Amino acid sequence: MTSASPGGRPPGAPRDRGESIPPDPPGTLAAGLRLVARGDPDAFDAVYDLLAPSVFGIVRRVVRDPAQSEEVTQEVLLEVWRDAARFDPGRGSATAWVMMLAHRRAIDRVRSVQKESERERRTAAADIPFDEVAEAVESSLERERVRRCLRSLTELQRESVTLAYYGGYTYGQVASLLGVPAGTIKTRMRDALIRLRDCLGVAS
């Protein structure tokens, strides 16, 4: 089974000069966002169906609490509605934009709402392996790909990514949880991200 990369470009294929991202084909998120930007409610309905599982997934993974996860998911999707006209395709894919929003809002919620004692309790939760899932959505191919690429990292790289990205911990917290200097964490994160990018076949 071949893996389709976004925009139809095979990994490692050369880019045209001046082009920053692959174009989004019609029927995808970017096309839907263009309609949402004009206030089209049917388009927003469709965009919700496309986005809600991913947004809810990452939010729930970071925030944990089910009620707050729903609140943050709603915040994120409303922000997509509100700012659809400001999405700049030159800066990256629509999915990347929305996932950044979702991750940021989730981290903001975790850091503002949870007290230090709750953060300590969550330390145990960070040990939960990536595989944990309540109900999976289709795109199991993508989940497998990411899972496989995470497995290709060194243990320290993978733990840094898990704690920082899914756990929402700061440098200092990750460093102390892993018993490693903060400078080492920085380098591990960079290496992990580059390896993930290359493994996932994101054109660079």
Partner 1 sequence: MDAVSGPDRARFERHLAGCAECAREIASLREATARLAAATAVAPPPALKARVVAAAAATRQRPPAEPEAAARGRRAHGGQASGRQARGWRAHGWLGRGRLALAAGAVAAAAVAAAAVLFGLSNGSMHDQLSRAQASSQQVAAVLTARDATMMTGAVKGGGTVTIVMSHARRELVFTAADLHPLPASRGYELWLIGPAGDRAVVMLPPGRHGMTGPVIAAGLRPGDHLALTAAPTGGASRPGPMMLDVVL
Query: Where in 83-142 is the site for partner 1 (CB under 8 A)?
Result: 83-86, 88, 90-93, 95-96, 98-104, 107, 133-137, 139, 142
> Which listed range, 69-77, 112-120, 121-129, lies at the site for partner 1 (CB under 8 A)?
69-77
- Check binding of 48 to partner 1 (CB under 8 A): yes
Give the separation between CA 202 and CA 127, rounded to whole angstroms.
28
Query: Whose Cβ is closer to partner 1: residue 26's or residue 90's?
Result: 90
Of 8, 45, 118, 128, which one interacts with partner 1 (CB under 8 A)? Answer: 45
Interactions with partner 1, residue window 6-25 (CB under 8 A): 18, 20-21
Of 31, 65, 152, 166, which one interacts with partner 1 (CB under 8 A)? Answer: 166
Give the separation between CA 145 and CA 87, rounded to whole angstroms.
27
Least Cα distance to 169 among 116, 132, 131, 129 occurs for: 116
Of 152, 171, 176, 180, which one interacts with partner 1 (CB under 8 A)? Answer: 171
Radius of gyration of the chain measured on its C-alpha atoms: 18
Least Cα distance to 156 among 178, 183, 130 occurs for: 178
Least Cα distance to 31 among 16, 42, 20 occurs for: 42
Query: Whose Cβ is closer to partner 1: residue 65's or residue 70's?
Result: 70
Of 35, 46, 81, 119, which one interacts with partner 1 (CB under 8 A)? Answer: 81
Give the separation between CA 36 and CA 10, rounded to whole angstroms.
29
